[in-house]
């Protein structure tokens, strides 16, 4: 007891109004930062470091699910493109292609009717666009930029794309119009990637990781399909001279 009291007497008490040195406070705060959250910097201004670390965990979970979805879709698409018998069967039977659209994840049926070179070009372009837009959105959010205003614009553009798609059933578009439509669709879903990525960063709750991954998956899937249609229509015009003449006449009109 005597030694305990003597040791406590030897420790000076902090005077009233004492504050910890700023460098000591920074050390304490740094020790509570999740190292997996990167450098400890926040996702966007106004969020605490603890909340940012939790948000990073949510982001990693969503992109993990998204990666699994994309890998499965890529494997199915590669199977339909590289398997001659399955490719020929789907190409010659529209009814069977429609029936298998869901189990083959739709994109596999689209790839079955396309040359492997065109599919690869569309895949490379889609990957580059998605990676660039995702990196930009994370950077812009960190700088405090907002993309919520894109919501009504993108919704209106999506309705327009759906209406044009239905019109194509009764009034088929020419090659140049299909290429233009593909470029418009690619632009719209590029905007959706930015918008939904910002929702992932800022707005989705931690329980909505499935919904967030589905949103991004559909954005990437549709972006790929529109780029695929764009490249396919351009390639058909280059290969078929009559298609070029038809496109020229359409522009003249």
Q: Is residue 241 part of a domain?
A: yes
In a domain, 93, yes or no: yes
Examine residue 1 and state whether it is found in any structural domain, yes or no. Answer: no
Task: Show the DSSP H helices in the chain as ranges.
Answer: 2-10, 22-31, 49-82, 84-92, 94-99, 107-112, 116-142, 150-170, 175-198, 209-239, 241-252
C-alpha closest to that of 231 among 75, 155, 125, 122? 122
- pLDDT over 90 for what percent of the chain? 43
9 located within any domain: no
Over the stretch 93-139, which tens digit does the pLDDT of each residue have? 555 445 444 444 476 666 666 777 888 899 999 999 999 999 999 99
**Has residue 18 been placed in a domain?**
no
Please state the domain count of the chain: 1
Question: Residue 246: which domain range?
Answer: 44-252
CB 62 within 8 A of CB 81: no
The distance of Cα 78 from the centroid of its chain, to the nearest Å, equals 21
pLDDT value for 18: 41
> Percent of the chain beyond pLDDT 70?
65
Q: Is residue 29 part of a domain?
A: no
- Flag whether 185 is in a domain: yes
Least confident of 38-52, 206-220, 239-253: 239-253
User: What confidence tier does 177 reach under pLDDT thresholds 50, 70, 90?
Assistant: confident
Residue 71 corresponds to which tokens in the numbers above?
């890998």
Q: Does 26 map to a domain?
A: no
Burial class (CB in 10 A: 0-12, 13-18, 19+), 224: buried
């Amino acid at each position: 007891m005597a030694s305990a009291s003597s040791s406590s007497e030897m420790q000076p008490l902090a005077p009233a109004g004492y504050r910890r040195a700023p460098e000591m406070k920074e050390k304490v705060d740094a020790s509570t930062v999740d190292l997996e959250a990167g450098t400890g910097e926040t996702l966007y201004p106004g969020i605490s470091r603890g909340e940012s670390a939790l948000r990073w965990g949510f982001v990693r979970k969503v992109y993990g699910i998204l990666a699994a979805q994309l890998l499965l879709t890529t494997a199915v698409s590669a199977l339909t493109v590289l398997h001659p018998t399955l490719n020929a069967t789907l190409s010659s039977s529209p009814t069977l292609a429609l029936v298998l659209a869901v189990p083959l994840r739709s994109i596999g049926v689209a790839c079955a009717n396309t040359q492997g070179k065109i599919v690869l070009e569309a895949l490379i372009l889609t990957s580059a666009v998605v990676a660039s837009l995702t990196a930009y959105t994370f950077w812009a959010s960190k700088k405090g930029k907002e993309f919520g205003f894109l919501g009504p614009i993108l919704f209106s553009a999506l309705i327009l794309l759906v209406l044009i798609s239905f019109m194509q059933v009764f009034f088929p578009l020419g090659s140049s119009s299909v290429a233009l439509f593909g470029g418009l669709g690619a632009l719209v879903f590029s905007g959706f990637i930015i918008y939904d990525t910002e929702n992932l960063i800022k707005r989705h709750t931690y329980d909505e990781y499935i919904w967030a991954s589905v949103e991004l998956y559909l954005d990437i899937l549709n972006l790929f399909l529109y780029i695929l249609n764009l490249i396919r229509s351009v390639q058909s015009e280059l290969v078929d001279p009559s298609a070029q003449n038809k496109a020229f006449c359409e522009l003249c009109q």
